[in-house]
Amino acid sequence: MARIAPFAAAAALLAGAALFVAPSLAADGVVTAPAPQLAEPVSGHSETAIFAGGCFWGVQGVFAHVKGVTSTTAGYTGGKAATAEYETVSGGNTGHAESVKVVFDPTKVNYADLLRIYFSVVTDPTEVDRQGPDEGSQYRSALFPQSPAQAKVARAYIAQLGAAHVYARPIATKLEQAPGFYPAEGYHQNFMAHNPDYPYIVINDRPKVDALKRIFPQSYHA
Residue range 49-86, pLDDT digits in tens: 999 999 999 999 999 999 999 999 999 999 999 999 99
Domains of the chain from N-terminus onward: 43-215 (3.30.1060.10)
For the annotated catalytic residues, the residue numbers are: 55
Is residue 162 predicted with pLDDT exceeding 70? yes
Determine the 3-state secondary structure of 186 from DSSP.
helix
Neighbours of 86 (CB within 10 A): 18
- Residue 181 has a pLDDT of 98
Q: Is the pLDDT of residue 40 over 50?
A: yes
Let me know: does 20 contact 131? Beta carbons within 8 Å. Answer: yes
> 16 pLDDT band (50/70/90 cuts)?
very low
Per residue in 167-210, pLDDT (tens digit) is 999 999 999 998 899 999 999 999 999 999 999 999 999 999 99
What pLDDT sits at residue 5?
46
